[in-house]
Chain A
Amino acid sequence: MQAKLILEDGTVFTGASIGSTRTTISEIVFNTSMTGYLEVLTDPSYAGQAVAMTYPLIGNYGVTPDMESGRSWVDGYIVRELSRQASNFRCEGSLSDFLLAQDIPGICGIDTRALVKLLRDKGTMNGMITTEAVEVGEVLPQIRAYEVGDVVSRVTCRKSTVLPGKGYRVALLDLGAKKSIAQALNERGCEVTVYPAHTPAQRILDSMPDGIMLSNGPGDPKSCTDIIEQIKLLYESDVPIFAICLGHQLMALANGADTHKMKYGHRGGNHPVKDAETGRVYISSQNHGYVVDVESLPKDVAVPSFTNVNDGTNEGLRYLNKNIFTVQFHPEASPGPLDSGVLFDRFIEMMGDA
């Protein structure tokens, strides 16, 4: 069946429908990872967005158990070619069936590179994926009006759960957490208690955790006003804190910094980030459309700990006189390089020192 991708600037890409045939409007972003499409699809940080994969051959190894959450969160999926044959020893089914089962609308067969170039030049845009014969002029206002909104509430868990472990007790604030974060802590022996995003700080602190982990998550960090207030309280406590992605942004906002939307963000598994302290460069997994303005952060509160080698944007902060460090990228990888997994070890050490 034919499907169309209509961008807010009026550009129309025509291809074939994949997954659900329902119409969807969302923010259109692109991801440059060559593997790990399943991790992308199930990463809650993509809630409110349709993801275009720049690698043209998707679905080659089918659906494997590599899910970052219980379901797919993307609002739409855009690929050049969806493989009709899935092949991998762990393959449990085809990606095309998965999209259908998850009710994810998508489009294939379009010139994804042309789309990426548009997004690169004009910045992230809204778009509609539809199989219906719509009048472009008529739907444009609707497309333009779309806002990602409060997606954290949509993706966070409903109640807290405990992932047992014999080591440090870590409270994980689920802002849309990827499973790999809890897994990385579990693997290091931690007992992880996952809390819904809107859990009051005091409740978390009352449980006397050895450390607090703020997760990744979707949407505009500045829209998370309530959570920011709670994070201020977490900051005031002396509990060691490690934060990733949205968590990193919220901690910065809680300390008076500003964030802004990037032109088209960083989404992929190839971004070099430089450790300010050691000079060491790590290749990182990234998925963010917003970034912390380092200049806006009071100098006596935190200093940059990581910087993106390519565009010089902030990739991490070290809070002064606090056991707090935060990163914009994803040390839990999945998908992407495992190079910075060492940061979890650093967090463990920090809990030990505290």
Chain B
Amino acid sequence: MARDNTIKKVLVIGSGPIVIGQAAEFDYAGTQACRSLKEEGIEVVLVNSNPATIMTDKEIADEVYIEPLTVKALEQIIEKERPDSVLPTLGGQAGLNLGMELEESGFLAAHGVRLIGTTAQTIKKAEDRQEFKDTMEKIGEPVAASKVVHDVEEGVRFTNTIGYPVVLRPAYTLGGSGGGIANDENELREILQNGLRLSRVHEVLVERCIAGWKEIEYEVMRDAAGNCITVCNMENIDPVGVHTGDSIVVAPSQTLSDKEYQMLRSSALNIISELGITGGCNVQYALHPTSFEYCVIEVNPRVSRSSALASKATGYPIAKVAAKIALGYTLDEIKNAITQKTYASFEPMLDYCVVKIPRLPFDKFITAKRTLTTQMKATGEVMSICDSFEGALMKAIRSLEQNVESLLSVDFSSLTEEWLLRELAIVDDLRIYRIAEALRRNISYKKLHEITQIDIWFIDKLKILVEMEQRLKSEELVPELLAEAKRIEFPDTAIAMLTERTPEQVRALRKQWGIEAAFKMVDTCAAEFEAATPYYYSVFGRENEAAGERTKKKVLVLGSGPIRIGQGIEFDYCSVHATWAFAREGYETIIINNNPETVSTDFDIADKLYFEPLTAEDVENVVRIEHPDGAVVQFGGQTAIKLTESLMRMGVPILGTKAEDVDAAEDRELFDEILEKTRIPRAAGGTVFTTAEARTVANRLGYPVLVRPSYVLGGQGMQIAWGDAEIEQFMEVINRVAQDHPILVDKYLQGKEIEVDAVCDGTDILIPGIMEHIERTGVHSGDSISVYPAQTISEKIQDTLVEYTRRLAAALHVRGLINIQFIVMDEQVYVIEVNPRSSRTVPYISKVTGIPIVDVATKVILGHSLQELGYTPGLAPKGDYVAVKMPVFSFEKLRGAEISLGPEMKSTGECLGIAKTFTEALFKAFLGAGIILPKHRQMILTVKDADKPEAVGVAKRFAGLGYKIYATRSTAKYLQEHGVDALWVNKITQESPNVMDLILGHKIDLVIDTPTQGHGDKSRDGFLIRRNAIETGVYCITAMDTANALATSLESEPERFTLVDIATVKNI
């Protein structure tokens, strides 16, 4: 079959903002697919509400709409653009659902548009619980038997037909309370009775228990002619029970014999054939550990996080091939882009081992439960490749950038054996460190397997690592031992610690003994064919395949590692654009990164890709082979910046702003000097060590004050103190960890927050636009609603902002990007923070201004001047549009996490609203973030005293929108006194019906709860309200400014949207 020539214009649906469970992998898949479509001469229309993505660039699609992913917006886009087809399988679940809705409503048919990639019927068969079950039964593929029961006897009868143990899941209880595992009838009766009582609808799902089975995944492809292949299979080290996104995963499977492997492979092909999927599909299995019995857990009829991982693990570009299949090509007609010799119908064969470890956000959400369950919690992941499992695991651990470098990095040695055994049963992100500790104490494999259900093959591998620790500690470090330690990827730092040397000494020994890293290729075919565009991973003790040949100048671009809160997809956007810009300037480009979800680790972005951890040692291995002419660190976020010093030591010139200038911006004293010199004001403050000093400074400045440790990222540990008591409390918390640097106490200025990104060529600056935050200072900039262009500042302030930016860029000798945050208060401008590097607003501001900031910055770094590039220095003229960037959170996924906004960043992603007017842009931004209101027109308002006057205004606006307002005693009283018709409702601690019943009753649209400062009982009450609101799916606002913005948006809901094609935005 050949390409279907009736397909000429395709609408591709993206996945929207980054949230836990739907991260950068869809930008990767979407970008790859769009490029693949364009290669075929297809006109691509793209819609995605997420402005930080590469797929929303005008280079990737012909028409780009950064619009809310709603049916209404899509219908309008289809009416305007008239595509002949919609491709919904690349935008995750969000994209798939939208495609389905458009199809089912008949809209697509009415407009002569068809779904390609997969049919609506297929999606339904895979997604609808009952249809899926029926389909699997029809083709004889087992699923875990389950049934919804309404009384105990029904449950007992059903369980007798499927056998014990069973899992019981009561419907509609918070966080699955009342559920459990029943091993016999007595337990079943007891749990079931309780569960039925707790369930609002008196329903409990009884399901065959498959916890502890091996979890295996297959990535399969199928074309319209019915040809199927598997791209890769993967084995979760954590057995069934932990979401695969939170599991440590290895590819290919390690503990399956060919019989098991082929049994599941055949099953996966059966399923994809029966579902009639054309494109990629992911099938998850539970495999009984001691028999051939298996169950199909889930099928994803689209590209997914797992398919991104499989693509990077094998080199097989699933999204690209899926796009070609959607156009009608068959697998045997599509060339394998890596080998250029084989075809897409050739199943990849690995000659290495891949390990993925999730990046979990518990460092940001210290109150959140660490336990890993079937609800995914990871924000991102790292992948590593090596020729041994041990090596791949060790590399993955240090790729996490969580201050871990080996199995010794999390210390459980102080636990008694009894405690250790007990804690081994806890399934969380620290479990492998506990297992390692248990292995150090010679606890048997059998015992460990009994407790954890982890296959002993993996346990033995951990034991090999533990044995190496012991050998390094006890034996003389001879060449053989060092070579063996390096073969299983012990970093120099860990070897140094274990052998009581310095890392430099270990490095010197390696040099002396010739123990150096070599690089091997990922080529999809286990070396059977020569590869055209492979990528590389390091191993020790083997032949090097990465020839460092030199035809032109080489630049090293450092990636940004795993997606985490505070360092998201934006930095991948910057890295990729910088790479492209360098290539256009005639450079050979080299990327080092370890994040399998990103565009930067796609095989054809840079000339060479090294899939490696981003530590000094790993980077040096690449440098030793490639000898780059320079490295650029300003695009890769904090990960890359951190490596600056090491790169300089390796003799690699840093391109752009110099390291000492970066440092000057971070160091309090140096920065103060610069501010002094440039006569730029900042909030008054002082540096302190003790609580007494802090109190003195705070009282001198006057409350409120901002307290924070120096040298932290993303506002970690930052707090606003409103009185002496809080100073004492915060200082106590901060000083629990010994502080190398003074603690900063600054006057907290509650003003307007302004953010500026600029490019400086050493002489001139270019400011594409000025952004204004909706929330006043005190909320982290990444969590604030940001508006471009600034709506409420005067001409004078604007001039001051431009002037200050110019002075700071000059003082810091910036060459490339600079990001500055300002406070505007009483017509005065103060500087908060300066970052001489790319920021998370760069992609968004590039798109809404039409100025390719990264491209310009890269050219400037290479010596071009702004004027020469055709830009007029200073602030670029405002565009025709207003753009509102809305933060998006994933709080519902993280049980126990505090959701109130403050100086520490908490959002996982963002979306954009862009329109002719501010109000419409704001409306779209809320909509894009999933805030679809009103529903029930009922809300709860409970605010701290300081916010009460403002709350009156807010309440009046919502009342005007038809909202019924509930408030707890003091808020209600205050509102009533000020003419608001507020209904008084009991607090949580008071008798029912209280505020909690209201929330759990699913009749509330919105909770506005501004947290009291400090951590008293009152705040605990608020915490519970906020948590329960989030977990019930109620939108919860914790800042008055956000509440007003929402009111504004709801007051001005537009009939139709103004659609803005980003590809046409230009404001020069």
Contacts and interface: CB of A to CB of B under 8 A. Distances in A.
B353 A57 contact: yes
Given A60-B255, A88-B255, A280-B225, A270 B543 contact: no
A280 B346 contact: no
B1058 interface: no
Q: Which of B256, B330, B347, B530 is packed against the most chain A CB atoms within 10 Å?
A: B347
A281 B345 contact: yes
A242 to B, nearest CB: 21
A90 B258 CA distance: 12
Contacts of A87: 255, 455-457, 460
Given A84-B460, A89-B290, A339-B269, A34 B350 contact: yes
Contact of A60 (B226, B331, B349, B457): B457
Interface stretch (A114-122, A216-224, A297-305): A114-122
Interface in B325-345: 330-332, 341-343, 345
B254 A60 contact: yes
Chain B: interface residue count, which band? 35 or more
Contacts of A103: none
Nearest to A339: B269
B857 to A, nearest CB: 40
Contact of A81 (B252, B253, B343, B388): B388
Nearest to A61: B257
Interface stretch (A200-208, A250-258, A329-337): A329-337
Interface string B512-531: 00000000100001111110
A272 B527 contact: no
Contact of A272 (B229, B291, B387, B389): B229
B332 A274 contact: yes
A117 B353 contact: no
B389 A57 contact: yes
B523 to A, nearest CB: 10
B266 interface: yes
A338 B346 contact: no
B351 A55 contact: yes
Contacts of A90: 257
B348 interface: yes
Contact of A310 (B266, B341, B352, B530): B341
A32 B528 contact: yes
B345 A33 contact: no
B227 interface: yes
B542 interface: yes
A54 B332 contact: no
A343 to B, nearest CB: 15
A66 interface: yes
B387 A309 contact: no
B526 A66 contact: no
A32 B525 contact: yes
A310 B347 CA distance: 11
Interface residues of A, number: 52
A143 to B, nearest CB: 22
Contacts of B347: 269-270, 272, 283, 337
A309 B332 contact: yes
Nearest to B288: A89
A269 B348 CA distance: 10
B259 interface: yes
B388 A56 contact: yes
Q: Which of A39, A87, A336 is packed against the most chain B CB atoms within 10 Å?
A: A87
B1013 interface: no
A299 B573 CA distance: 58
Contacts of B290: 89
A333 B262 contact: yes
A341 B225 CA distance: 19
A272 B343 contact: yes
A179 interface: no
Looking at chain B's contact residues, is the secondary structure mostly helix, strand, loop, or mixed?
loop
A56 B543 CA distance: 15
A309 B346 CA distance: 8
A272 B387 CA distance: 26
B261 interface: yes
B528 A120 contact: yes
B272 to A, nearest CB: 13
Interface in A22-48: 30, 32-36, 38-39
Looking at chain A's contact residues, is the secondary structure mostly helix, strand, loop, or mixed?
loop
B480 to A, nearest CB: 12
A55 B261 CA distance: 15
Nearest to B386: A56
Contact of A57 (B226, B254, B258, B341): B254
Nearest to B339: A310
Contacts of A64: 257, 259
A54 B526 contact: yes
A2 interface: no
Nearest to A119: B527
A117 B343 contact: no
Given A32-B525, A272-B343, A309-B346, A88 B257 contact: yes
A54 B345 CA distance: 20
Given A112-B351, A120-B530, A309 B225 contact: no
A281 B227 contact: yes
A149 to B, nearest CB: 27
Nearest to B461: A85
Given A56-B388, A89-B290, A270-B347, A334 B527 contact: no
B265 interface: yes
Given A56-B352, A85-B457, A116-B528, A39 B331 contact: no
B289 interface: yes
Interface string A264-301: 00001111101000011101000000000000000000
A229 interface: no
Nearest to B265: A337
Interface in A82-114: 83-90, 111-114
Nearest to A80: B387
Q: Which of B291, B345, B389 is packed against the most chain A CB atoms within 10 Å?
A: B345
A54 B456 contact: no
Contacts of A339: 228, 266, 269
Nearest to A63: B257
A39 B229 CA distance: 22
A344 to B, nearest CB: 15
B526 A55 contact: yes
Contacts of B346: 270-272, 309-310
Given A270-B347, A279-B225, A85 B460 contact: yes
B258 A336 contact: yes
Contacts of A334: 258
Nearest to B526: A54
Given A270-B346, A279-B225, A336 B332 contact: no
Q: Which of A116, A280, A337 is packed against the most chain B CB atoms within 10 Å?
A: A337
A338 B332 CA distance: 19
A336 B229 contact: no
Contacts of B389: 57
Interface in A211-267: none
A288 B458 CA distance: 34
Contacts of B1: 279
Interface string B837-868: 00000000000000000000000000000000
Interface of A: 30, 32-36, 38-39, 54-57, 60-61, 64, 66, 80-81, 83-90, 111-114, 116-117, 120, 268-272, 274, 279-281, 283, 309-310, 333-339
Interface of B: 1, 225-230, 252-259, 261-262, 265-266, 269, 289-291, 330-332, 341-343, 345-353, 387-389, 455-457, 460-461, 464, 520, 525-530, 541-543, 545
11 contacts: A30-B528, A33-B349, A57-B389, A113-B527, A270-B348, A270-B349, A272-B347, A279-B1, A283-B228, A333-B262, A336-B258
Given A111-B541, A335-B258, 14 more contacts: A34-B261, A35-B256, A38-B258, A55-B349, A57-B254, A57-B388, A60-B254, A60-B255, A84-B460, A113-B542, A116-B351, A272-B345, A283-B228, A337-B347
Cβ-closest 8 pairs across A and B: A36-B258, A85-B460, A270-B347, A272-B345, A54-B526, A87-B457, A89-B290, A335-B258
